[in-house]
Structure 1
Amino acid sequence: MSSNDSCLMAGIIYYSQEKYFHHVQQTAAVGLEKFSNDPVLKFFKAYGVLKEEHIQDAISDLESIRHYPDVSLCSTMALIYAHKRCEIIDREAIQELEYSLKEIRKTVSGTALYYAGVFLWLIGHHDKAKEYIDRMLKISRGFREAYVLRGWVDLTSDKPHTVKKAIEYLEQGIQDTKDVLGLMGKAMYFMMQQNYSEALEVVNQITVTSGSFLPALVLKMQLFLARQDWEQTVEMGHRILEKDESNIDACQILAVHELAREGNMTTATNHVRNLIKALETREPENPSLHLKKILVVSRLCGSHQVILGLVCSFIERSFIATPSYIHVATELGYFFILKNQVKEALLWYTEAMKLDKDGMAGLTGIILCHILEGHLEEAEHQLEFLKEVQKSLGKSEVLIFLQALLTSKKHKGEQETTALLKEAVELHFSSMQGLPLGSEYFEKLDPYFLVCIAKEYLLFCPKQPRLPGQIVSPLLKQVAVILNPVVKAAPALIDPLYLMAQVRYYSGELENAQSILQRCLELDPASVDAHLLMCQIYLAQGNFGMCFHCLELGVSHNFQVGLAAAPVCLLRVAPGASCAQWAPEHERSVSPVHG
């Protein structure tokens, strides 16, 4: 019987919960080779087909197994769920199925209640799932799998006090066995409680007895990352790829590592290509998973055109496959903002509004486009409408940032703008509390958003280095607080590093600013901004030779920008400095001396 194969069922339920629907079908198909015609495996295979929106195929598969007692309840529930998702809903068929469901409930077995509970949990009906599991436990208190399932239901709750109860059920279900699903739940519980050493110990119990169980290795990789141990994270990623060359999670983590920590954009581009290929081959009909797994790349790649192009093309293909998926349209709008193509971004945000007229994301994007294009009156009108709608939904950091941006553009004053920026930052970081370092952390950190906020703050900061004895501007301190988490977690992102160098420069910490700029130039030797800021630092230090050298480098990479900056630097040369001081060392040595 397939349910006795701990790794097999744990894999199927884990992939179902993680929404890897093609993996569910493949794992069930492998199981069916061993347990021929097993109705439980056939049910999960049909569930995977259903979640890929092949509804008629799923209905046919579910109809073929609904009379098997163990899956009669879950199959009938799944059929009702499937019929309700059809374009043309067969009300009569649903009525018959609902009547059948009532009849089945009267004489249902404990096993049937268990699989019904699993199905209800997977489709997000947590309270209903608990009812079925509790009823099952009344019939058979010794059914360990039911305690494990109840633990998972609590573990995936959005209520913290419910999550804390999960461990009791998981422990009761595992007891002294090697139940893989139970142990995975226990490890995830400890991870959520930030007890990473305990979580690793539990994962090691699984890998010792079931070394080929890939979800445990993926969890181990995520735990190393949560502990901020990048070396072991990357090592585990490569180990997973040795066993499964197109493992989505390993490809994603290696891309994240290169983008956030190393900054080698050629290597990063290859990792992103591998991730996209893995998603398209392993989960070919899963646009929501495609978006979920690629989001972190878009949040870390900055304005790198090659990677943006790869990701943008990938998401566009997802949209063509599923044109009704609003989140893909809004994300495409965001990509074009990153590419500085505001008109194209506006088209995608407008498309998102067509798909969901009440959707806030599309309208938010449209307002941002209007502000960036200078259509401030139109933006203000739409923002007032959005603020009214948002009152019932609670505050949004993006909405408050848009208010700040508009206030700044309309020159309404420093105090009003910075107060709004401060509120946006506080809301942004409050949504990340308790998140371990990982893909979700980087996604929610959203470095580009924080860079935008930092740039707005810097508009109101002093534009000259602080002199000895002067107080550091409180706004500069605030920008440093905003950028610190980004620079710490993702030290290979050049934009936040450059802004941090600016903050240190204006704060009078010239050597600190130079050190940060040196890292910027290691990451991108052609960064004109970094060369020009380095030029200003040398100028402030009175080192005119190095100042001129940096200016030359800036001009060599971008003649127009460098040329525009040159007069500014020349005008700020200390009084009495001669042109000879700007000459390169070898030329100065042969200059004639004038009395």
Structure 2
Amino acid sequence: MDEHDYRSVIIYHARNRYYYTMQRSALEAMAKYTNEVSFRFLNGLALILDGFRLQEGIRELNQLRSEPDLGMAVTLCLMYTHKRCHVVDKEELISLDGQLKEERKRLTAQSAYYAALFLHLSGKTEKAKEYADKALRLAPNHADMLSLKGWCELQLGRTTNQTLELFGRALELGGKQLDAYLGQVRFYQLNNDFDAATAVLNQVAVGFPTIIIPLVEKMKTHLANWHWEHTAELANRILAEKPASLEALTVKIMVLIVKEGNCGAGASALQYLASSVEKIEPGNGELFLQLGQLYSVVCGRDAGVLAETFKLVERAVKLKGSNADYLTELGYQAILQRRYREAVAHFKTATKVNDSSIRTLCGLTLCQLLESGVSDQVKQQLEFLAEIQGRTPNPLLLYMTAKLHADSDPAKATELLLAASEAHFKNLKAVPYGPEYLRLFNPDFLLQLVHELLAHSPVKGI
């Protein structure tokens, strides 16, 4: 692979949040292209994005502060990282803020590109697009930037022909652009044009015969098209080449649980997946968390599967016990197993880290509602949560509020339940059907909504 191919592969792993795999690819590229400082930047970025190796990442990035093309991105990375340290160095943040102002004055297309790349990979998509636009004003034919802007548009749910044209232009200007090809694939997946996605992947397989990414994406494309047999075949083919492929293992377990309903085999396979994550992405707490979330909401509350998903989330908590999101998810995992007192304990621990998390406070209220039913205390808590939730409607809060009105005002309850489902589905616009889609789709929660709606149906006995 040439330098550009390596960079595309590293970015691909970052988008999939495989940060240890991202770092291994960056180190491999650094060894091969010793004078290319961008790979050192991507190595530092991998260290900070997993949230587990912040100090190591700071040391790596500090050495790149004077690099002209990387100064803006490095400064943004360091500010992002220092804010996430257990002890925040306020003086250093003030210094970095001053440096950021200087970097803005000498912004170039390339420095704007790397700034946009960091913002994109750290989840600040709107801001990333702003920098992409700045870069393209300075250099309209910047192929990498055209591709990155296309990815930003996709993440923002904009799947129009204008977005597709960005990838097309990147390929015209940059030639063999893996990142742009994969952008086209994602565009076609989101628009349900699976034949077009497969055609692009066939091109990629010919152009990049040494990497497994085209095969992995073809598996995901078949899954997005609900071609379960082809999906399973490709998962097995990938695992024959790469026995610990996390993507293939994740999808294979999805097939077992979701398509075949074989929760026993799924629970056993989850043990192997967990051990594979330990080897390949050992400190990736976010990955442990999201895998636990995924399988816990698609298994129909199967006890064996839930026992394994609880362990996955426990592993995330062990990696970073000060993460309120991880502690909160442990509470929701306990709720799925009807262990309400244990769930309350986890939520209370989470509030010691962050006492204003809506998701945590909703979890505490849900435990009371499930254990004791509607009470004055539950009503007061729901009123309080409604006041502090912000502008974005919270589906779980709407669901719990609907239960308050179940007897006194069925019409109001129905209205709230429909609002909850509408708010819930807004999360899914920029995600093709697959593991991430199902994790966000959360069938378990939707079944609770349906159960409540059926209780208010004028036609009984459904």
Provide TM-score, normalisation by structure 2: 0.88
- Tell me the residue number matched to 2:444: 448
Residues 74 and 112, structure 1, Cα contact 8 Å, conserved in 2: yes
- Tell me the residue number matched to 1:175: 172
Deviations 1:491-543 (CA, angstroms, capped at 9, x unpaired): xxxxxxxxxxxx4xxxxxxxxxxxxxxxxxxxxxxxxxxxxxxxxxxxxxxxx
How much does 1:449 deviate?
2.5
Deviations 1:303-336 (CA, angstroms, capped at 9, x unpaired): 3222211211221121122123222222222222
Deviations 1:455-507 (CA, angstroms, capped at 9, x unpaired): 4456678xxxxxxxxxxx6345xxxxxxxxxxxxxxxxxxxxxxxxxx4xxxx
- Closer, same or farther in 2 for the Cα pair 1:357/1:90, shift >3 Å? closer
Please give the residue correspondences for 1:141-290 in structure 2 after superposition, counting only pairs within 5 Å.
141-157=140-156, 160=158, 165-175=162-172, 177-290=175-288
- Closer, same or farther in 2 for the Cα pair 1:362/1:175, shift >3 Å? same
Please give the residue correspondences for 1:25-174 in structure 2 after superposition, counting only pairs within 5 Å.
25-53=23-51, 54-103=53-102, 110-157=109-156, 160=158, 165-174=162-171
Distance in 2 between residues matched to 1:429 and 1:67, nearest whole Å: 45
- Closer, same or farther in 2 for the Cα pair 1:446/1:140, shift >3 Å? closer
- Closer, same or farther in 2 for the Cα pair 1:252/1:78, shift >3 Å? same
Worse overlay, 288-297 or 138-147 = 138-147
Distance in 2 between residues matched to 1:52 and 1:272, nearest whole Å: 22
Higher relative contact order (CA 8 A, sep 6+): 2
- Tell me the residue number matched to 1:490: none
- Closer, same or farther in 2 for the Cα pair 1:81/1:437, shift >3 Å? closer
Identity of aligned residues (%): 28
Aligned residue for 2:237, secondary structure, equals helix
- Closer, same or farther in 2 for the Cα pair 1:137/1:342, shift >3 Å? closer
How much does 1:144 deviate?
2.0
How much does 1:342 deviate?
1.5
How much does 1:185 deviate?
0.9
How much does 1:62 deviate?
1.7
Aligned residue for 1:361, secondary structure, equals helix
Residues 264 and 305, structure 2, Cα contact 8 Å, conserved in 1: no
Distance in 2 between residues matched to 1:312 and 1:38, nearest whole Å: 43
Aligned residue for 2:65, secondary structure, equals coil
- Tell me the residue number matched to 1:474: 459
Deviations 1:134-153 (CA, angstroms, capped at 9, x unpaired): 44445544432222222223
- Tell me the residue number matched to 2:384: 385
How much does 1:393 deviate?
2.6
How much does 1:168 deviate?
2.2
Residues 64 and 71, structure 2, Cα contact 8 Å, conserved in 1: yes
User: 2:80 corresponds to which letter in structure 1?
Assistant: Y
Where in structure 1 are there 5+ consecutive unaligned residues?
462-472, 477-502, 504-595
How much does 1:173 deviate?
0.9
How much does 1:271 deviate?
2.0
Distance in 2 between residues matched to 1:108 and 1:431, nearest whole Å: 34
Aligned residue for 2:372, secondary structure, equals coil
- Closer, same or farther in 2 for the Cα pair 1:312/1:209, shift >3 Å? same
Residues 302 and 338, structure 1, Cα contact 8 Å, conserved in 2: no
RMSD: 3.0
Distance in 2 between residues matched to 1:40 and 1:422, nearest whole Å: 49
- Tell me the residue number matched to 2:295: 297
Deviations 1:536-557 (CA, angstroms, capped at 9, x unpaired): xxxxxxxxxxxxxxxxxxxxxx
Aligned residues: 459
- Tell me the residue number matched to 1:531: none
Residues 292 and 310, structure 2, Cα contact 8 Å, conserved in 1: no
Distance in 1 between residues matched to 2:426 and 2:142, nearest whole Å: 41
How much does 1:284 deviate?
1.6
Distance in 2 between residues matched to 1:57 and 1:371, nearest whole Å: 45
User: 2:66 corresponds to which letter in structure 1?
Assistant: H
- Closer, same or farther in 2 for the Cα pair 1:345/1:86, shift >3 Å? closer
- Closer, same or farther in 2 for the Cα pair 1:475/1:389, shift >3 Å? farther
Worse overlay, 201-210 or 398-407 = 398-407
Residues 293 and 309, structure 2, Cα contact 8 Å, conserved in 1: no
Deviations 1:194-220 (CA, angstroms, capped at 9, x unpaired): 222212211221112213333332222
Q: Greater Rg, structure 1 or structure 2?
A: 1
How much does 1:399 deviate?
2.3
User: 2:38 corresponds to which letter in structure 1?
Assistant: V
- Closer, same or farther in 2 for the Cα pair 1:216/1:325, shift >3 Å? farther
Worse overlay, 88-97 or 357-366 = 88-97
Aligned residue for 1:285, secondary structure, equals coil
Where in structure 2 are there 5+ consecutive unaligned residues?
none
Residues 333 and 346, structure 1, Cα contact 8 Å, conserved in 2: yes
User: 1:44 corresponds to which letter in structure 2?
Assistant: L
